[in-house]
Structure 1
Amino acid sequence: MRIVETGYQKEKTEFFGSKFCIGNGYYGYRGTLEEYTKDQLVACTLSEIFDDSGNGWREPVNVPNGLKCTLLCDGEELSVLTKEPVEHEQALDLKGGFHERRSVFVSKSGKRIEIKTERFASLKDLHLLVMKYAVIVDEKAELVWKSHFDCDIWDINGPHFYEQKQGEIHGIDVVASTTIQNKKKAAVGQFAVIREGEGKLLRENGEITVTSVLEKGKTLEIVKYVSVCKETDCVLPEVAAADICLDASEKGYQYWREEQEKLWKERYEHLGIEIIGDEEAQLAVYYSCYLLLCSAPFHTDTVAIPARGLSGQVYKGAMFWDTEIYMLPMFAFCEPEVARNLMNYRVKNLAGALKKAAEYDYQGAFFPWESQENGEDGCTHYNLTDIFTGRKMRTYFRDKQIHISADVVYGLWKYMMITGDYSLLFEGGAETILECARFFYSYSYYKKGKHRYEFLDVTGADEYHERINNDAYTNYMIDLSLKTALHVIEYLKKENPAYFEELLKKIDFPDAEQIIGEMAVELYLPQPNADGVIEQFDGYFKEEDLTIEELYSRIIKPNEYLGSPTGLAVHTQILKQADVVLLLSLLGDQFSSEIKEKNWKYYEPRTEHGSSLSTCIYALLAAQIGMTDWAYKYLMRAGRIDLDGDYKLYLGDLYIGGTHPAANGGTWMVTVQGFGGLTPLEEGVSIIPHLPEKWTQLSYCFYYGTGRYRVSITSEKITLEPLEGEHILKVTTETGTYTCKPTEKLEILRGDTK
């Protein structure tokens, strides 16, 4: 599958940089052209290393660009920045994560010169970035190709290096950079070879030059190996960068390319998604999964997946609650080791959550809104600027979104349910869950007259309404957290009572079971009203009820922020994103299909979808209750968000461009858990599909416990094929409960059910 754009479109430079990005979890490289500079937002963004240059805005670092190069033909520079190509194509081949570019220029003397490049972020060696650069001429021409480190880096809030040193190690050019705040070191190496054609290669002062007199119809092909190393896993990044370039050149381009295809093929096989009858949806789903995999930490549990992946420094490169709610499901079902890394990142950073709770005079664990590599909150209290006055606005993302701690517990619960891996409990998971429960007890308000615990002054999933009381999503997720804590207590008391007693002593929470149990019984959970609708928060129904079009008609300036403290949506029923609908899609076993449908229909026309986290959730719930036409519409909005660029670039005056991992993960959720009907249960899985009309068959793969399975769904039957493991799987469908044995394919007739 290839994604292609034809014709040079200068106005889409920023968008294409995100659309055609490549990455391997260690770094991300934007989909920019080889002659581009920081003015065109070139970036090689690292995971794990963050820096504050002194302005209070901490973000991941971008390292020097090792792929910068220029081409001259008979002394004339051939670049889209200075000359319009007569033909141009930019593409992304999903088969191996290959970024491709083809440009044809006509020189002043009338010669036709074709440039073809290919690059990829290696999965075989995460430190390696490989590029092939080919030139073909229709007449004899003198070519000069130059490439060097571009140390003039694009940063949103930089610069981030106080020192950059260029040198040579083992005959390899290396630039070592040291961050300002924590003196962290990263190094980039470069090495080039002529792979095809005749030419002379010269290295001097960090610049590689290839000169060639190329005959008519001949090709000059250069391969450049760039290494990216950092002290998080390399003791001496400069030396490692040099060694990796040498190793890469010895193995050769074809070796790395073949390994790349093989490893991407394995990842796609773990997904196993096949949609027959709808090529557009197949592409959108696979592209979404590709983007999510590009940023996934296969190699470490020191970070999770940033809100904009590794497509740049947006949102400070921080990890949000998006991870547990939108991204974790795909990894738990398809790449369990990555799912463990994601959850272990939270567990390892419990100290940051304890510190944050104490900062606001609470007990327990208050997980960050914008979590960075140290587990501390990168969010400030004044996070946005009023575009009318230019003044910073006090926002409450940081200190009122208490649902983050509940989302973390939800993630741990889901991970354990799907994988059957409870070992994480003994490695800090149990402590994390109990500390989250203690935080909720510390934050709660007990209303004696009504004999119930309430949560006041919070912000829910809908960010347009801050400092509200009894947000439905928040309260129900806290309820899940408390019940999970009680289950964990029972499990520990049974499996390892000595560990449990020692844990209670360690965290000084001897009455944990009593406190959590009482609170779970008396926690206030908003119920559906006479019309079957759950009020999003206390007083929501009293807010102005208007259409989104009416709200938009009141906008004075583009990029106005519609939320708190003074935005147009604050005192209306207009939502930024799914809130009650999110609750119903995640905890659906607590509500009837009738309640789900009534709430979907009430909140859908009132939701602006001002966040990429929204459309996929409306699609998910719609699919779960059989509203397949609506579900498909919203699936395609979510799945194509990074293909079409239909998203907000600014939040007030804050740039928020880049890829959208939450929507990418949500697209998988809609496809597999919505249309495919896959739901994990305490024992086995439920598969109750609702296929869109045009889908004649949907297939996907998943892990459950120690087993791995492939599911194929048509209107007539569900076929379940065991692929790995000796696990006996209990499967519940719309027609009954069945047993899938490890050596037998299970076929379940569906009748005429779609």
Structure 2
Amino acid sequence: MNWNIEELGYQPEKATGLGNKFLIGNGYMGIRGTLEESKKDQFPAVNLSGIYDQVGNGWREPLNAPNGLFTRLLIEGKEYCLSEKEHKAHTMELDYRHGIFRRETVFEAAKGTVTLKTERFASMVDKHLIALKVTLVPSYDGEIEVITGIDGEVWDINGPHYDSVLTGVTGELIGAVATTHEKQDKVAVYEALEIPSVAGQEAAIAEQSTKEKDRTVLRHLKLQVTAEKSYTFFKYISIYTSLDTAAFQEEGKQLVLEAKKRGYEALLKEHKNNWEKKWSRSEVEIEGDDEAMEALNYSLYHLHSIAPRHSKSLSIAARGLSGQTYKGAVFWDTEMFMLDFFLFTEPEVAKTLLKYRIDTLKGAKAKAGDYGFCGAFYAWESQEGGYDACSDYNVTDVFTGRPMRTYFKDKQIHISTAVVYGIMRYIEFTGDKELLSEGGAETIIECAKFYYSLLIKRVKDEKYELYDVIGPDEYHERVNNNAYTNRMVKFTFEAAIKLLEEETENKAEAAEKTLLLESFRDAALHLYIPQPDEKTGIIEQFDGYEQLEDVSVEAVKGRLLHEKEYWGGAYGVASHTKVIKQADVVTMMNLFSSEYDMEILYKNWAYYEPRTEHGSSLSACMYSMVACKCNMPDQAYPFFLKSAKADLGDGGKQWAGLIYIGGTHPAASGGAYMTAVEGFAGLKLENGELKAEPRLPKGWKHLKFKVQYLGELYQVTVTKDKAEVEKIRD
């Protein structure tokens, strides 16, 4: 298998997308795959997890740290940047088995060429450390100057987020300490430089700039070079914030000094060994389809790169650590699309993701209270403390330039069901009920209270309904009885009932819990769940959906007056049609497939797929998984590949109205994994035992992976007509 991706040549229009495609990270930070000489107009970023800032009325978003990777060549008074200077050759490479980014560029200068080679990684051993190797090979004798240091002119979408960036020099270190606008949090970046002794090489710091207005601190290294000889230096960069430790500056300085003492090769070896341990549990082997195997494992690379292993309570943003898109907020994506990968391969990370939700329960209860409801209404776009970063005006009208009122924050009530689903799934696969006593049980019951306070009953009707919601299909806002939402709310009531029935009660709590039990049982029994139509077998997505205009996706697309026009909302081109953004009913049927026979599954799959724009990267995997459950693996395959290649291609939706939404797609990565493991391999629990059911697409000879279940590790091997699930003995 090939664990490397390459980009040959340079096309400026692709630079933004390549920043996502060639991302490296370690869960604490994500480093976009831009070049070392890039300045903020080319979207370089060292994106940090769990720390946010807001400026004025702009959207609150995560921080990009001052860029300690900044490096440019200065030859005969001219700075060399790939986007601005002539070059003879250029290659970018990502080793996604080990999270190593490399580039090689041949610049043309007046006297000859200079080859610039770099290699960098975000350490998987120490989450605060970046290491960079720089090599120059000139074709001529003469002088080359290298400008390298920390660039505090940071790319922001809704910034600038740093009121000040103070730079300085301390002995052999240079540093920059940035102060945020909103809370005066600090981000400290330090750099130590190692210049090995090389015969014929002279390197000296000629100048250092520490002017605050420049927000940069730079070393100028003058090298007297000889033709065809290599000149190498190393940079060790630390990043700490004041949220990490009170001694963030001292620890940052100490880390880079220790890294320099240990040396680049030793750090790289440890980093690669750490990656190998992760792949020993998570690599997926597909015999007969290298394209699929490479795309799938590339997807898993991205999930590994953004896993918050440095924390006991932190989640993953919808765009991972690829930048500030979607405000660095946590959506339902994490529980419904990413969780299974970690649950099956690294359960401790899955617990960290769920602890984030438990620890932000206070924020969820406050949000519910703000709307006049009981219980816990989780943030649609969750930042620290459960703060909902979702704006009431989340899309910009491309014609007027004015913000458009949207209702994602108010009406996507299904977010709390995702939290409950994640907690229950974790308990089911790990058997670790400590999560319940650590706040998980309270979270589930508070979510059930929220939904109970939303129920509507007509005077002469026994059924409960849920009005004025938005389902996964965001193109249709404020609908009644969305099938997915109602069924997931019933799941929430059932989970709360199970917990209340199992709890040992003291007398003081007995009356309250008895009342809750009666209420939740009544709600679960009488909540309206849309059923398949007797004639067609189709489950109506929401009340009145069947009365909408039935028109093709292409026809709706043809009605656009602007390529970035938003399809949904009150006046969107899709809002009065049956065209939907992403899997909605099909998502519900995937989660509760045992409740429907195969004919009903197929009819709904065949009905909704042609009417789905797939305007979200979350969509394809759901259609793929339901196709597998209809014994249609070959029809599932293109959707699987679309998910697995979400970050490998050059396309992808980059805009919602005038809002930039580019970045990586970790939910699609998780969806590709779920499709392979739970779709093609048919992995499932049956009477508390792991089972697999082969549904391999054409050309696949076998599918092989490991799964952790109830603390034991299993090897799953699936061929066309056979599935083996074997416990791995220590």
1:659 deviates by 0.4
Listed one character per residue, the Cα deviations across residues 218-237 of structure 1 (whole Å, up to 9, x for unaligned) are 11011111111012222222
Distance change in 2, residues 1:504/1:652 (3 Å):
farther
| Native 8 Å contact 2:314 2:355 kept in 1 | no
Q: Pick which of 4-13 and 446-455 moved more.
A: 446-455
**Residue type at the aligned position of 1:311:** S
User: Aligned-pair RMSD on alpha carbons?
Assistant: 1.6
Secondary structure of the corresponding residue to residue 192 of structure 1: strand
Structure 2 match to 1:307 = 318
Q: How far did 1:682 drift?
A: 5.7
Cα deviation, residue 301, structure 1: 3.7
Q: Deviations over 1:267-301 (max 9, x none)?
A: 11211311111111111101111112211111114
Asked if residue 528 in structure 1 is aligned to residue 539 in structure 2, the reply is no
- Between the two proteins, the alignment pairs up a number of residues equal to 717
Q: Which residue of 2 is the match for residue 167 of structure 1?
A: 168
1:58-115 Cα shifts (integer Å, max 9, x gaps): 1001111001111134554332132121111011111210011011123222x23211
- Report what 1:629 is aligned to: 634
Match of 1:36 in 2: 38
1:408 matched to which residue of 2? 419
Name the structure 2 match of 1:667: 672
Alignment check: 8 A CA contact 1:194 1:201 kept? no
Residue of structure 2 in register with 1:261 after alignment: 272
Cα distance in 2, alignment partners of residues 673 and 491 from structure 1: 30
Matched-pair contact (CA < 8 Å) for 2:691–2:725: no
* Partner residue in 1 for 2:20: 18
CA distance 1:572–1:9, shift in 2 (3 Å): same
| Residues 300-342 of structure 1: per-residue CA shift (max 9 Å, x gap) | 1443111111000001000000011000011111110000000
Matches within 5 A, 1:223-302: 223-302=234-313
The question of whether the paired residues in 2 share the 8 Å contact of 1:137 and 1:217 is answered with yes
Determine the structure 2 residue equivalent to 1:513: 517
Instruction: Quote the Cα distance in structure 1 between the aligned partners of 2:675 and 2:153.
Output: 42
- The structural deviation recorded for 1:169 is 4.3
TM alignment of 1:622-701, pairs within 5 A: 622-681=627-686, 683-701=688-706
Residue 751 of structure 1 is matched in structure 2 by none
Query: Does the alignment pair 1:317 with 2:328?
Result: yes
Deviation at 1:448, TM superposition (A): 4.0
| Matched residue type, 2:484 | Y
1:654 Cα deviation from its structure 2 partner: 0.9
| Residue of structure 2 equivalent to 1:567 | 572
Q: Distance in 2 between matches of 1:586 and 1:267?
A: 28
Q: Which amino acid aligns with 1:534?
A: I
* 1:408-464: CA deviation from partner (whole Å, max 9, x where unpaired): 101111111111111111011000000000000101102342311100111101000
CA 1:483–1:232: 2 relative to 1, 3 Å: same
CA-CA distance at 1:385 after TM superposition: 1.5
Name 2:10's counterpart in structure 1: 8
2:493 corresponds in structure 1 to: 482
**Contact 1:620-1:674 within 8 A present in 2 as well:** yes
> Do 1:143 and 1:211's aligned partners in 2 also have CA atoms closer than 8 Å?
yes
1:549 maps to 2:554: yes
Residue 452 of structure 2 corresponds to which residue in structure 1? 441
- Counterpart amino acid of residue 199 in structure 1: E
Amino acid at match of 1:358: G
- Which deviations, in whole Å up to 9, do the C-alpha atoms of 1:144-169 show, x marking residues without a partner? 11112111111000011123222344
Supply the AA of the counterpart residue of 1:183: Q
SS of 2:195 mapped into structure 1: strand
Mapped pair 1:327 → 2:338: yes
Instruction: State the SS of the aligned residue for 2:81.
Output: coil
* Structure 2 counterpart SS, 1:636: helix
**Which residue of the other structure, out of 78, 81, 86, is the alignment partner of 1:79?**
81
Match of 1:389 in 2: 400
1:78-477 equivalences under 5 Å are 78-109=80-111, 111-169=112-170, 171-195=172-196, 197=198, 198-202=201-205, 204-205=208-209, 206-477=217-488
Q: SS of the counterpart of 1:216?
A: coil
Cα contact 1:349–1:374 (8 A) shared by 2: yes
CA distance in 2, matches of 1:196, 1:460: 63
Q: Distance in 2 between matches of 1:509 and 1:653?
A: 49
In structure 2, relative to structure 1, the CA distance for the partners of 1:605 and 1:503 (3 Å cut) is farther
Cα deviation, 1:723-745, whole Å, max 9, x if unaligned, reads 257xxxxxxxxxxxxxxxxxxxx
Question: Counterpart amino acid of 2:648?
Answer: L
What is the distance in 1 between the residues matched to 2:692 and 2:203? 62
Equivalent of residue 586 in structure 2, options 556, 581, 587: 581
Q: Is the 8 A contact 1:48 1:232 kept in 2?
A: no
Check conservation: 2:86, 2:108, Cα contact below 8 A.
no
Whether the 8 Å CA contact 1:170–1:242 is kept in 2: the answer is no
Kindly state the Cα deviation for residue 715 of structure 1 after the two structures are TM-superposed. 2.2
Q: What's the TM-score, normalizing by structure 2?
A: 0.96
Residues 248 and 502 of structure 1: CA distance in aligned 2, closer, same or farther (over 3 Å): farther
Q: Which residue is 1:729 aligned to? A: none
Q: Aligned pair in 2 of structure 1 residues 17, 622: CA closer, same or farther (>3 Å)?
A: same
Equivalent pair of 2:14/2:650 in contact (CA under 8 Å): no
**What does residue 214 of structure 2 align with?**
none
What residue identity is the alignment partner of 1:271? S
Residue among 520, 540, 556 paired with 2:545: 540
Q: Does 1:594 align with 2:599?
A: yes
8 Å contact 2:690–2:725 — kept in the other structure?
no
Which one is further off, 115-124 or 645-654? Answer: 645-654
Using a 3 Å threshold, how does the CA distance of structure 1 residues 503 and 601 change in structure 2: closer, same or farther? farther
Change (3 A) 1:74 1:183: closer
Map of 1:52 onto structure 2: 54
Q: CA deviation at 1:502?
A: 7.2
**What is the CA-CA distance between 1:512 and the residue it aligns to?**
1.1
Distance (whole Å) between structure 2 residues aligned to residue 133 and residue 199 of structure 1: 15
Does the Cα contact within 8 Å between 1:393 and 1:565 map onto a contact in 2? no
CA shift in 2, pair 1:289/1:504, >3 Å? farther
Secondary structure at 2:394's aligned position in 1?
Answer: strand
| Aligned partner letter, 1:146 | I
1:62 to 1:16, Cα distance in 2 relative to 1, 3 A: same
TM-superposed deviation, 1:722: 2.1
Q: Does the CA-based 8 Å contact 1:19-1:31 persist in structure 2? A: yes
For the 8 Å contact 1:174–1:238, the answer to whether it is kept is no
* Distance in structure 2 (CA, Å) of the matches to 1:68 and 1:609: 38
Native 8 Å contact 2:25 2:306 kept in 1: yes
CA deviation vs aligned residue, 1:235-280 (integer Å, no higher than 9, x gap): 2222111111101101110111111111111111211311111111
Q: Given residue 165 of structure 2, which amino acid in structure 1 is its aligned partner?
A: Q
User: For the residues of structure 2 that align with 1:532 and 1:613, how far apart are their CA atoms?
Assistant: 25
**Residues of 2 paired with 1:68 and 1:325: CA distance?**
38
Distance 1:106 1:381 in 2: 51
Alignment-mate amino acid for residue 177 of structure 2? A
The corresponding residue for 1:736 is: none
How high is the TM-score relative to the length of structure 1?
Answer: 0.93
Instruction: In structure 1, give the amino acid aligned to 2:594.
Output: D
Partners of 2:232 and 2:401 in 1: how far apart? Answer: 52
Name the SS of the counterpart of 2:196 in structure 1. strand
Structure 2 counterpart of 1:742: none
Distance 1:713 1:172 in 2: 54
Contact 1:74 1:141 in 2 (8 A): no
Give the match's secondary structure for 2:444: helix
Q: What letter is aligned with 2:16?
A: E
Q: Secondary structure at the match of 2:652?
A: coil
* Shift of residue 636, structure 1, vs aligned partner: 1.0
Determine helix, strand or coil for the equivalent of 1:60: strand
Runs of 5+ unmatched residues, structure 2: 210-216
